[in-house]
């Protein structure tokens, strides 16, 4: 069948078929992921009861995998907003089949990222110190700190992306309601807020959705800029640079797009979305990855160039050590996975081949995780004074929490795809040729 | 004495048929009550000639409120305890504008949602009659009314436009 064979009804049928009661293998996957979450939660509980010292963080590296994973997951979130908001403003039709799943990825990735500041706090019950609330201590947070910008930015991002996601789903929830029976119908009647597809509703909805996209666009850029300022506003060599905001935003989108491919390929296969999430759609994502990869590569080069050009001996030593010091392997994994391997997408045969797409997306995910490792660990491990230099390796507890967080993300995503429409039926219908697919 | 009126819904397969029916109904003096569709069709919207939504005003109001809330919150917390570093101002413009910016987006989105649900009159859980479950899926629906004496004319008109006639029965929960 060709793509043009899609009609309004076949779109509905294809997507609604994914919501049928799952097979046993699905529940086994859910159970395994849940076991992973329990393992991670157990490690966190152990850390709470024993002390933050069970992690590998120590002098001089106090920001370890908890901050790496925080930045990694915030980065993953970004391409969801790129696809759902920025590409919506650009009227890029190829985004429609993957927009819903990418938005969902955003929401769950921000939830996962948001856990890490709690984990990193150690005394997690003290989290309210960061909230501007009156208390007996008469202490208030200081909003001149980028860490406080972060609290505001990430909370805003989670709230906005969740509302954007839910609002975008309203017409689809009504489709499910109108085909459901019994309790399921009642649940979706509430979730869909009584949506009937009246043009009086569409009139306000399309306007509101446009504003959502217009607001989410600067927000997504500001959020990772703020995350980058957690580092750039410090004086640590390798961090204290004006390039960080655009560099982080490009890296975030790079990693997020790779995660989109990683999620879309199994989703497409398992739910028979071949007609909707076409190779052409994945190819467009791959082309965008080439673009973001080149930006990231340019940023890597600029960092090294500026270190040399500044003739600042500390900066020069930091970048020499990154490439040839104790973390050279991590550095070169970062460079190769993020800038060299994605260039394979320049070949049409590679970017239109599912296995290549999937494998390269995994390499980019790995590379982007290591980018955060290199930036966060590499700078503080080797800063101004040689006698304070030191190395860091994550402890087993940190690995446990990290694996738990990955399981949490995939657990939420797997639950989502079986209970809510993972492809926006309405947006797919909008993209069909006018008058060419309204079946009976 | 009020004239008895009849409501009839025509279900169409395409947006083109729907737009044609809407224009025809208006020209022939029928009352157009509601139009439904599975997508926000521009063709249908043009035929309806709907005014621009006012959701944006809610968004704007939210954004302006948000900026001042964010900036003033940061200024308020800073002035509770004067932590002077290097003679820098207590109410620091640049960092507080960042907080103001994030609150601008947050409150603008709250305003947007408020505008959307208030203008579109959501949530709405009462029955909508007549209604057809296919309206959210693959059919466009046009609900028109006329004096009962012209009922048959309306039926014929809608059928001529390619509609499947939907009787006024049963609603959406």
DSSP for residue A346: G
Q: What is the pLDDT of residue B167?
A: 67
The answer for residues whose C-beta is within 8 angstroms of residue A77's C-beta and 6 or more apart is A105, A106, A107, A109, A110, A113, A157, A161, A252, A256
The stretch A366-381 carries a mean pLDDT of 96
The CA distance from A167 to the nearest CA of chain B, in Å, is: 8
Identify the DSSP state of A389: -
Beta-carbon neighbour count of residue B1 at 10 Å?
3
In contact, A335 and A303? CB cutoff 8 Å: no
What pLDDT shows up at residue A137? Answer: 76
Do the Cβ atoms of A197 and B15 come within 8 Å?
A: no
Do A203 and B13 count as a contact with CB atoms less than 8 A apart? no
| Residue A57 DSSP SS3 | coil
Residue A415 binned pLDDT confidence (cut-offs 50, 70, 90): very high
Please work out, in degrees rounded to the nearest 5, the angle formed at the alpha carbon of residue A213 by the alpha carbons of A111 and A71. 30
Q: Which residues pair with B147 in a beta bridge?
A: B5
Peptide bond just before A60 cis, omega within 30 deg:
yes
Give CA–CA dist A165/A424, Å, rounded: 11
User: Do the Cβ atoms of A154 and B102 come closer than 8 Å?
Assistant: no
Mean pLDDT of chain A: 93
pLDDT value for B1 = 53
Whether pLDDT at A320 is above 60: yes
Question: Residue A211: which of B74, B112, B136 has the nearest Cβ?
Answer: B112
> Is A440's pLDDT higher than 60?
no
Q: What is the DSSP string of B113-163?
A: HHHHHHHTT----S-BSS--GGGGTT-EEEEEEEEGGGHHHHHHHHHHTTP
Q: A40 with A407: CB under 8 angstroms?
A: yes
Check A208 against B53: CB less than 8 A apart. yes
Whether residue B171 has pLDDT greater than 70: no
CB pairs under 8 A between A and B: 195
Please state, for a pLDDT cut of 90, what percent of chain B lies above it.
78
Nearest chain B Cα distance for residue A384, angstroms: 22
Judged on CB neighbours under 10 Å (0-12, 13-18, 19+), A126 is: exposed
Neighbouring residues of B27: CB distance < 8 A, sequence distance ≥ 6: none
Residue A3 has pLDDT above 60, yes or no: no
Mean pLDDT of chain B: 91
pLDDT at B132 over 60: yes
Interchain CB distance below 8 Å, B56 and A211:
yes
Greatest alpha-carbon span in chain A: 76
Q: pLDDT per residue over B65-97, tens digit each?
A: 999 999 999 999 999 888 888 888 999 999 999
The answer to whether the beta carbons of residues A418 and A96 sit under 8 Å apart is: no
- What lies within 8 Å, CB to CB, of A140 at 6+ separation is A132, B76, B77, B78, B80, B81
The answer on pLDDT for A58 being more than 50 is yes
Q: Would the CB atoms of B124 and A185 count as touching at under 8 Å?
A: no
* Beta strands in A99-164, from DSSP E residues, in sequence order: none
Domain at B5-51+131-166: CATH code: 3.30.70
Nearest chain B alpha carbon to A150:
B99
pLDDT tier at A435, thresholds 50, 70, 90: very low
Predicted confidence (pLDDT) at residue A259 exceeds the cutoff of 90: yes
Of A148, A218, A426, the CB nearest to B105: A218
Give yes or no for residue A436 having a pLDDT over 50.
Answer: no
ipTM score of complex: 0.93
Percent of chain A whose pLDDT exceeds 90: 87
Domain-by-domain residue ranges, chain B? 5-51+131-166, 55-119
The CA distances from residue B57 to A114, A346, B113, B138, in Å, are 32, 45, 12, 33
> Which residues in A lie closer than 8 A to residue B45 (C-beta atoms)?
199, 202-203
Determine the residue among A13, A178, A192, A209 to mutate to test chain B binding: the one whose Cβ has the most chain B Cβ atoms within 10 Å.
Answer: A178
Contact indicator for A116, A63 with CB cutoff of 8 Å: no
pLDDT at position A1 is 41
Cβ–Cβ gap A429/B105 under 8 Å: no
Task: Report the gap between the CA of B14 and the closest CA in chain A (Å).
Answer: 6
Confidence check: pLDDT of B34 > 50: yes
How much is the pLDDT for A129?
Answer: 86
First vs last C-alpha separation in chain A: 19
Domain boundaries, chain A: 21-431
Scanning every residue of chain B, which has its alpha carbon at the shortest distance from the alpha carbon of A425?
B137
Contacts of A190 in chain B (CB under 8 A): 123, 125
* Phi and psi at residue B121, to the nearest 5°: 55, 55
Q: What are phi and psi of B11, to 5 degrees?
A: -105, 125
Mutant choice from A148, A151, A200 vs B, greatest count of B C-beta within 10 A: A200
Q: For residue A139, what are the contacts with CB-CB under 8 A and spacing of at least 6?
A: A129, B81
Of chain B residues 12-71, which have a CB less than 8 A from chain A?
13-16, 34-40, 43-45, 48, 50, 52-53, 55-56, 59, 63, 70
Q: CB-based contacts of A264: which residues, under 8 Å, 6+ apart?
A: A98, A101, A277, A281, A282, A285
Q: Is A119 helix (H, G, I), strand (E, B) or coil?
A: helix
Q: Is the pLDDT of residue A200 over 80?
A: yes
User: Which residue does chain B place closest to A438, by CA atoms?
Assistant: B13
Of B34, B131, B138, the CB nearest to A9: B138
pLDDT at A120 over 80: yes
**Which long-range CB contacts under 8 A does A278-285 form with residues at least 24 apart?**
A278/A3, A278/A97, A279/A352, A279/A354, A280/A94, A281/A94, A281/A97, A281/A98, A282/A351, A282/A352, A282/A354, A282/A357, A283/A348, A283/A351, A283/A352, A284/A92, A284/A94, A285/A98, A285/A257, A285/A260, A285/A261
Mean pLDDT of all residues in B98-106: 97
CATH 2.40.50.840 for domain A21-431, yes or no, is no
């Amino acid at each position: 069948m060709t793509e043009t064979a899609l009609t309004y009804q076949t779109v509905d049928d294809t997507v609604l078929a994914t919501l049928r009661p799952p097979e046993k293998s699905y529940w086994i996957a859910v159970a395994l992921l849940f076991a992973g979450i329990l393992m991670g939660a157990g490690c966190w509980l152990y850390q709470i009861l024993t002390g933050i010292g069970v992690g590998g963080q120590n002098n001089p590296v106090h920001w370890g995998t908890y901050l790496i994973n925080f930045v990694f997951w915030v980065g993953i979130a970004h391409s969801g907003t790129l696809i759902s908001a920025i590409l919506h403003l650009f009227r890029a039709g190829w985004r429609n089949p993957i927009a819903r799943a990418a938005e969902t990825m955003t929401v769950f990735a921000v939830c996962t990222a948001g856990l890490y500041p709690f984990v990193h706090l150690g005394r997690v019950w003290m989290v309210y110190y960061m909230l501007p609330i009156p208390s007996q201590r008469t202490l208030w947070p200081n909003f001149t700190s980028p860490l406080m910008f972060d609290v505001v930015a990430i909370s805003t991002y989670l709230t906005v992306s969740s509302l954007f996601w839910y609002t975008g789903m309203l017409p689809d929830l009504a489709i499910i309601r109108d085909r459901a029976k019994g309790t399921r119908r009642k649940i979706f009647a509430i979730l869909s807020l009584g949506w009937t597809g009246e043009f009086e509703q569409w009139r306000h909805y399309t306007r509101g959705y446009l504003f959502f996209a217009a607001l989410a666009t600067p927000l997504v850029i500001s959020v990772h800029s703020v995350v980058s300022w957690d580092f750039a506003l410090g004086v640590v060599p390798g961090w204290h640079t004006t390039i960080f905001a655009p560099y982080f935003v490009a890296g975030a989108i790079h990693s997020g797009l790779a995660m989109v491919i990683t999620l879309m390929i199994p989703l497409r296969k398992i739910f028979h979305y071949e007609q909707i999430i076409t190779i052409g759609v994945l190819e467009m994502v791959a082309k965008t990855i080439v673009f973001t990869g080149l930006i990231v590569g340019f940023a890597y080069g600029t960092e090294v160039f500026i270190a040399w050009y500044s003739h600042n001996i500390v900066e020069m030593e930091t970048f020499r050590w990154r490439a040839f010091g104790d973390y050279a392997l991590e550095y070169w994994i970062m460079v190769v996975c993020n800038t060299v391997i994605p260039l394979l997408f320049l070949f049409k045969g590679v970017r239109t081949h599912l296995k290549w797409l999937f494998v390269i997306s995994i390499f980019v995910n790995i590379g982007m995780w290591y980018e955060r490792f290199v930036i966060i660990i590499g700078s503080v491990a080797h800063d101004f004074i040689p006698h304070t230099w030191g190395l860091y390796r994550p402890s087993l507890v940190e690995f446990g929490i990290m694996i738990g967080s990955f399981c949490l993300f995939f657990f939420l995503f797997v639950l989502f795809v079986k209970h809510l429409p993972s492809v926006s039926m309405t947006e797919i219908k909008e993209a069909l040729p006018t008058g060419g697919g309204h079946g009976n | 004495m009020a004239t008895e009126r009849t409501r009839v819904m025509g279900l169409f397969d395409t947006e083109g048929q729907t737009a044609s029916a809407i224009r025809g109904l208006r020209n022939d003096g029928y009352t157009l009550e509601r139009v439904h569709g599975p997508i926000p069709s521009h063709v249908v919207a043009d035929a309806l000639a709907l005014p621009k939504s006012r959701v944006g005003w809610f968004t704007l109001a939210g954004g302006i409120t948000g900026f001042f809330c964010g900036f003033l919150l940061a200024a308020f917390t800073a002035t509770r305890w004067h932590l002077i570093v290097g003679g820098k101002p207590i109410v620091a413009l640049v960092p507080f504008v960042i907080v103001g910016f994030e609150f601008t987006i947050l409150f603008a989105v709250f305003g947007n949602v408020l505008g959307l649900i208030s203008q579109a009159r959501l949530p709405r859980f009462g029955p909508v009659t007549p209604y057809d479950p296919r309206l959210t899926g693959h059919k466009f629906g046009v609900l028109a009314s006329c004096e009962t004496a012209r009922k048959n004319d309306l039926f014929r008109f809608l059928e001529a436009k390619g509609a499947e006639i939907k009787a006024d029965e049963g609603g959406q929960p």
